[in-house]
Amino acid sequence: MGRTLVELFYDVVSPYSWLGFEVLCRYQHIWNIDLRLRPAFLGGVMQATGNKPPALLPKRGEYMLKDMKRMAKYYQVPINISALDLQHILGSSTLGAMRFITAVDMTQPQYVEPLSREFWIRFLSQCEDISQPENISTVAKKAGLSSELTQKLLEMISTPAVKNRLRETTEEAMKYGAFGMPAVVAHYNGEPHLFFGSDRIELLGSIIGEKWLGPVPSVPSPKM
């Protein structure tokens, strides 16, 4: 059997995308999969599909805060969001951040995983801004990018090539049926299988014939 291509469409504005991201990053070393990270723009998906952020409904927002606290502990991901932070998140734009990650994906793809993680840590753990160039630069430095490379990437954000790539990736997610994020697409038996949400990875495993070992699986020791 060949390896199964699994694509993760995500936006760093989404807490549940962070959960799905970390679990899939763990399982890429255990399951027979090739994980492809696909930075996209959640705002574009929501607008095109008519979807609304769940936290806009007050009772659902209250539940989401409790749920995030439980999920963060269960998944061992340092999400730390208060009610005030949630309102800030709803009013924040991650378009610049997602264009920056897209530029990295186009030129330095080896940094996409650590860079995305650092954006989430700053935004959803430390609850600090990620929209301004100086804050993007801070995140990039933590992810291991040099200041010279970061500056070149910041200049790329406004180019048609980067804007088009992000838009095309977002449209591709919707062609698979995405209406929110995380959207996970497993290419198995010649067809794409869409899974929505961080809590569907166990189901994904059953579809592609892989064993679910919990959200924090232990990596098998190499045979001596």
Q: Which residues are catalytic?
A: 14
What DSSP string runs through 185-197?
Answer: EEEETTEEEEEES
For residue 132, give the nearest of 87, 97, 98 by alpha carbon.
97
DSSP assignments along 33-101, one per residue: EEEEEEE--HHHHHHHHT---GGGSHHHHHHHHHHHHHHHHHHT------HHHHHHHHT---HHHHHHH
CA 127 from chain center: how many Å?
A: 17
Task: Give, in order, the Cα–Cα distances in Å from 209 to each of 22, 112, 197, 212, 215.
Answer: 20, 27, 19, 10, 17
C-alpha angle 143/196/96, rounded to 5°?
35
Single out the residue of 138, 176, 135, 144 nearest to residue 40, CA to CA: 176
Q: Tell me how far apart the alpha carbons of residues 135 and 152 are, in angstroms, rounded to a whole number.
A: 15
Q: Are 23 and 91 in contact (CB under 8 A)?
A: no
Strands 4-10 and 33-39: parallel
Report how far residue 19's alpha carbon sits from residue 124's, in angstroms, rounded to the nearest whole number.
Answer: 11
